[in-house]
Amino acid sequence: MMNGKNNIAIGFLAMGFFMAYGFLLIYLRDFAPEKVEWANSYSIGKHFEARLAHVHGNLFAFLNILIGYLLLRFSDKLQNTKVISWLALAGLLMPIGILSEVYFGLPPVLVLIGAITMTVSVVWLGFAFLKMKL
């Protein structure tokens, strides 16, 4: 069954990307020519947004790995696995949206879509487990 497998694969790939993005953040903080200005803007602007993308990207990647595993493991006992799977994957739009704001000045629509879809997938999976017959 593909429900869950893609969440695990894409979750690991996204986690790898956002972990690598962390190296960029380390460079900007410790080695870039403007490192002092970057460090001084810790809680505002692009610096803050970049850290949000890094943290949420890894969190949402991990959630996809976990959701994917659970969907695979309990696929025969859960309902709506395909929808839950796609909603969790769409949740990755949140950190991608934050990066698109930081680097391209795009509006936060992807952030909202991703946040909503990830939240819905987690809550829906919770209810699916409550209704699951053992």
Average pLDDT by consecutive 10-residue portion of the chain (134 residues)?
Answer: 90 98 94 89 87 96 98 95 97 98 96 98 98 90
Closest CA to 57 of 97, 108, 1, 9: 97
Task: Domain ranges for the chain, please list them.
Answer: 5-131
Query: How much is the pLDDT for 41?
Result: 84
